[in-house]
């Protein structure tokens, strides 16, 4: 059985004798105060505070924290007051004990309210002394270790509270050793059978993989040693809840999760971390996109390390973390490392930074507490704040998807599957239609609506947050632009070849191949793409092809052939744009302006904004296809008598004419007249004329003008 003398021996490694004596005095005081009290397990109650103090000693906490651990249940469970504790052990220790103590003098009807009120009290105490939460975490950890004596329903309730609040706080403060154990103990209490099965499977898997692990570890260690770098390679084990979550969320079998070998390399300084990274990347090929530099950009809780994933022997994935000894201490102890270094009478910037971040976080909690309506609302805010990097949403089948904070519907669609994202046209959030740019919140259920012909929109890049969505959208847009540029380039080149009585399809392939070098192109596709994007001039390329042909039998065609127009349908996509200044419609006389990087911009022939009008290489005639099934925007200016219900009247008229209103604005000219600026989507000039005729039939319409610029 662990005794106070055993603890005193351990404390001798980092505390002076007078402080150890004060800790012992606190123990004897607690032993007397709890005399006759026993835990559910039957042990004397004082074994609990002693065990809590031992957990804090592992983290090298200061003597006042250890004294508070000894005394943390005295106010709550005995007749001793805070004032009496202050007189005996000093005000700081009494404040720590009071901060950890529950509100025993108030009776709550609801356990959830009691939990929220007690947590709120603890946060206020944390704002005065951050050590309150470290003592509380140690207290909760020992309680979780000794849950066995409680009823199953009480076990589950305490475990859920631990998982939702205390494990998250430990993670937020970077105290990884406590977080991992709290999570595994909670998992064991909530799902005992699943926990036991995974534990047995892990034990068996480690036995089977032991020789392979040793081999990889020895290879990594030898590579580091060969470069004369100081680094120790150790194996890294996944904890039970982490394995379970990956199996559930990623829908992977146990064997696939355990197939990954995990190692940690501990070195002396930051420079060595990056040198060792180079060594391991030289030894094994790194997996693209799986490198994270948390040294340059630490996590919110101060965690620092280099993370990389490698293709090991026979394609086995190897996860490697590289960090300094100080970073290792921070990763395990988080904010508690502040006292670890303080105990050694030295300060360390990592530990100091972690302490400052923790205080800033508590300050934020206090602000939330001030703005919260009640303690239950406050604790909900805290739960969300404790997982700042992740949200959890559901598919219609109930599967859980994990996304970063601020993720949108589009991010969700791409996280399900790239094709779902690319073909996404609408969505339902909790069964209600919502914009694709909607920011998601934990607990929502999403249904993505797709269409086979749909394509990503370039505007999506303005609001997506995940790297997967961003890269997939860019890839799809690039492919889409490339395909459309090649099609447009082919049409432009055929138009330029028409005066020579030939076309690209009729040209000898050998002529085309010989032309690539003088045209500085590597393939026909590259040449056509550059024409479609406007970086080459079709007339110059056609002339060069004829020159290379060297005696090509075709001669210049008639002037009529040279004036052949390029046909457009409005569905060409990204490389054919319709000018917003003049809103061209099918039926209008139109010309095309070839703009570098944008492709073809379509203007009405009379548009005043058209530049390079006299340059035949940049501006040329276009004609509309006979088969068009697209909507085109058009702007109207209507002078009409102002009256109640005017907007509704216009909207009804436009809808009845099978058109859509994109934008509407009203300017009051005087008390009687108004000017309505209306942007519609129509099929063409004939459709527009029909709508304008209907508007003219309205009472008191003065003038309707189609805006040219």
Based on C-alpha coordinates, what's the Rg of the chain?
36
Helices 176-190 and 131-145 meet at what angle, rounded to 10?
A: 40
User: Nearest-CA neighbor of 176 among 54, 335, 338, 319?
Assistant: 335
Which residues are 633's β-sheet partners? Answer: 681
- Reply yes or no on whether 617 is catalytic: no
**What's the CA gap between 640 and 276, in Å, rounded?**
76
Strands 261-267 and 231-235: antiparallel
Cβ of 671: how many Cβ atoms within 10 Å?
7
Which residues are 704's β-sheet partners? Answer: 638
- Reply yes or no on whether 550 is catalytic: no
**What's the CA gap between 544 and 696, in Å, rounded?**
55
**What's the CA gap between 412 and 403, in Å, rounded?**
7
Strands 446-450 and 599-604: unpaired
Q: Which of 43, 77, 402, 631 is catalytic?
A: 77
Phi, psi of 38 (to 5 degrees): -130, 155
Q: What angle do CA 456, 462, 466 make, to 5 degrees?
A: 80
Which parts of 305-428 fold into alpha helices (H)?
Answer: 325-333, 337-343, 349-371, 375-385, 409-416, 418-422
- Give the tokens for residue 188: 């064991």
Alpha-carbon distance values, 607 to 453, 580, 624 (Å): 33, 11, 17
Q: Which of 43, 76, 402, 630 is catalytic?
A: 76
Which residues are 257's β-sheet partners? Answer: none
Q: Tell how far CA 478 is from the center of its chain.
A: 23
Q: What angle do CA 98, 102, 103 make, to 5 degrees?
A: 100
For tokens 């947050």, the residue is 465
Q: Report the side by side order of strands in the sheet with 566-568.
A: 566-568, 619-624, 590-595, 599-604, 576-578
- Give the tokens for residue 59: 């983290």
Helix/strand/coil for 404:
strand
- Give the tokens for residue 382: 């805290």
- Give the tokens for residue 9: 């021996």
**What's the CA gap between 639 and 128, in Å, rounded?**
68
Alpha-carbon distance values, 512 to 394, 488, 506 (Å): 54, 18, 11
- Give the tokens for residue 584: 């061209």
Strands 317-324 and 673-682: unpaired
Q: What totals of helices (H) and strands (E) does the chain contain, helices first?
A: 29, 20
Helix/strand/coil for 147:
helix
Helix/strand/coil for 128:
helix
Q: Which residues contact 331 (CB under 8 A, 6 or more apart)?
A: 174, 176, 303, 304, 305, 323
* DSSP per residue, 648-677: HHHHHHHHHTT-EEEEEEEEE-SSSEEEEE
User: Nearest-CA neighbor of 445 among 459, 428, 457, 458?
Assistant: 428
**What's the CA gap between 429 and 523, in Å, rounded?**
47
**What's the CA gap between 672 and 524, in Å, rounded?**
64
Strands 619-624 and 566-568: parallel
**What's the CA gap between 269 and 426, in Å, rounded?**
51
Q: Tell me which residues are annotated as active site.
A: 76-77
């Amino acid at each position: 059985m662990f005794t106070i003398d055993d603890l005193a021996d351990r404390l001798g490694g980092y505390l002076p004798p007078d402080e150890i004596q004060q800790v012992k005095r606190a123990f004897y005081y607690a032993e007397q105060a709890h005399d006759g009290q026993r835990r559910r397990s039957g042990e004397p109650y004082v074994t609990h505070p002693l065990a809590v103090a031992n957990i804090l000693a592992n983290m090298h906490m200061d003597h006042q924290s250890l004294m508070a651990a000894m005394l943390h249940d005295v106010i709550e469970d005995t007749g001793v007051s805070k004032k009496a504790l202050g007189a005996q052990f000093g005000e700081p220790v009494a404040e720590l004990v009071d901060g950890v103590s529950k509100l025993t003098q108030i009776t709550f009807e609801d356990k959830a309210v009691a939990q929220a009120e007690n947590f709120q009290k603890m946060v206020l105490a944390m704002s005065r002394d951050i050590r309150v939460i470290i003592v509380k975490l140690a207290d909760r950890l020992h309680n979780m270790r000794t849950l066995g004596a409680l009823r199953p329903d009480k076990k589950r309730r305490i475990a859920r509270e631990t998982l939702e609040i205390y494990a998250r706080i430990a993670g937020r403060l970077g105290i990884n050793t406590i977080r991992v154990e709290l999570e595994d103990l909670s998992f064991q209490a909530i799902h005992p059978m699943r926990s036991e099965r995974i534990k047995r499977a892990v034990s068996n898997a480690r036995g089977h993989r032991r020789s392979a692990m040793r081999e990889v570890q020895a290879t990594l260690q030898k590579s580091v040693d060969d470069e004369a770098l100081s680094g120790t390679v150790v194996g890294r084990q996944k904890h039970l809840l982490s394995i379970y979550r990956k199996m559930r969320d990623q829908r992977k079998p146990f064997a696939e999760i355990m197939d990954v070998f995990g190692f940690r390399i501990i070195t002396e300084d930051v420079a060595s971390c990056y040198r060792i990274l180079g060594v391991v990347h030289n030894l094994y090929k790194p997996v693209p996109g799986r490198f994270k530099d948390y040294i340059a950009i630490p996590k919110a809780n101060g965690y620092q390390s280099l993370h990389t994933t490698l293709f090991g022997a026979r394609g086995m994935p190897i996860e490697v973390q590289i960090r300094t000894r100080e970073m290792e201490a921070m990763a395990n102890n988080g904010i508690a490392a502040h006292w670890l270094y303080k105990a050694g009478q030295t300060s360390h910037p990592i530990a100091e930074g972690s302490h400052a971040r923790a205080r800033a976080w508590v300050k934020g909690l206090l602000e939330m507490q001030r703005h919260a309506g009640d303690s239950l609302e406050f604790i909900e805010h805290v739960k969300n704040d404790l997982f700042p990097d992740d949200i959890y949403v559901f598919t219609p089948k109930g599967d859980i998807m994990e996304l970063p904070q601020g993720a949108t519907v589009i991010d969700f669609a791409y996280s399900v599957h790239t094709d779902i994202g690319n073909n996404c046209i609408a969505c339902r959030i909790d069964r209600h239609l919502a914009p694709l740019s909607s920011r998601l919140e934990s607990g929502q259920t999403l249904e993505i609506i797709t269409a086979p012909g749909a394509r990503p929109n370039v505007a999506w890049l303005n609001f997506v947050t995940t790297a997967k969505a961003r890269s997939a959208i860019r890839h799809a847009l690039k492919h889409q632009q490339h395909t459309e540029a090649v099609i447009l380039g082919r049409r432009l080149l055929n138009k330029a070849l028409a005066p020579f009585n030939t076309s690209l399809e009729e040209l000898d392939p050998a002529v085309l191949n010989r032309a690539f070098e003088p045209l500085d192109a590597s393939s026909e596709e590259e040449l056509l793409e550059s024409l479609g994007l406007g970086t080459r001039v079709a007339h110059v390329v056609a002339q060069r092809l004829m020159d290379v042909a060297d005696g090509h039998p075709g001669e210049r065609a008639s002037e009529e052939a040279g004036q052949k127009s390029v046909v457009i349908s409005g569905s060409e996509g990204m490389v054919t744009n319709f000018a917003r200044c003049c809103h061209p419609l099918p039926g209008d006389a139109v010309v095309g302006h070839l703009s570098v990087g944008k492709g073809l911009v379509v203007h009405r022939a009379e548009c005043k904004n058209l530049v390079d009008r006299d340059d035949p290489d940049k501006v040329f005639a276009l004609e509309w296809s006979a088969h068009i099934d697209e909507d085109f925007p058009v702007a109207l200016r209507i002078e009409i008598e102002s009256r109640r219900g005017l907007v509704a009247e216009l909207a009804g008229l436009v809808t009845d004419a099978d058109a859509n209103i994109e934008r509407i604005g009203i300017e009051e000219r005087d008390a009687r007249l108004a000017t309505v600026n209306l942007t519609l989507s129509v099929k063409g000039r004939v459709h527009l004329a029909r709508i304008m005729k209907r508007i003219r039939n309205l009472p008191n319409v003065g003038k309707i003008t189609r805006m040219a610029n």
